[in-house]
Amino acid sequence: MTSERFEQIAQEVMERLPAQFSERIDNVRIVIEEYPSEETLHQMHASKTTLLGLYQGIPLPHRNTWYGTSPTMPDTIFLYRRNIESLCRTEEDVVAKIYEVLLHEIGHYFGMTETEIRHAMRNYQ
C-alpha cells in the first residue's frame, strides 16, 4: 500500500469516528510515520515493530483554564504505518486496524488508562 493511500484511509477513518468522540476532540493532529523513532522506542520500552500508535499531548481532563490562552501546540496521535500494515492482509484489515489504533489513542486523549481503554474497546466492539 502506498503511503498516500494509508494517509487517505486514516483521514477517512477519522471522519467516521462516532460523534461522541469527534465532537469533543480539539487541537489534535494525526501524524503518520513509517516506524517509531529510536527516542520513542526508548521512552516506551518498545521494540521497533510492536508499537502501532502513540498519543502525545495534554489529555483533555488535565487541561485547565490556561490551556489555549497562548499559542498551544496541537496534541499528536502517531500512526506507525509499517507496523500496522504488517498485521494486515487486505485493505479492509488496514482500515479496521487504523480504526482500532485511533480509538485506542483517542482514549488516551480523553485521559483513559491502558486498562480502561482495553475494557471500553471490548465493550464497544
- The side-by-side arrangement of strands in the sheet containing 75-80 is 28-33, 75-80, 53-56
- 32-42 pLDDT, tens digit per residue, is 999 999 999 99
Whether residue 123 has pLDDT greater than 80: no
- 19-78 pLDDT, tens digit per residue, is 888 888 888 999 999 999 999 999 988 888 899 999 998 888 887 777 767 777 889 999
Give the pLDDT score at 125.
55
Q: Using 50, 70 and 90 to split pLDDT, how confident is the model at 124? A: low
Q: Nearest Cα to 15, choosing from 33, 2, 30, 4?
A: 30
- This prediction has a pTM of 0.89
Give the pLDDT score at 63.
79
- 80-120 pLDDT, tens digit per residue, is 999 999 999 999 999 999 999 999 999 999 998 888 888 88
In Å, what is the CA distance from 30 to each residue of 20, 65, 86? Answer: 19, 25, 20
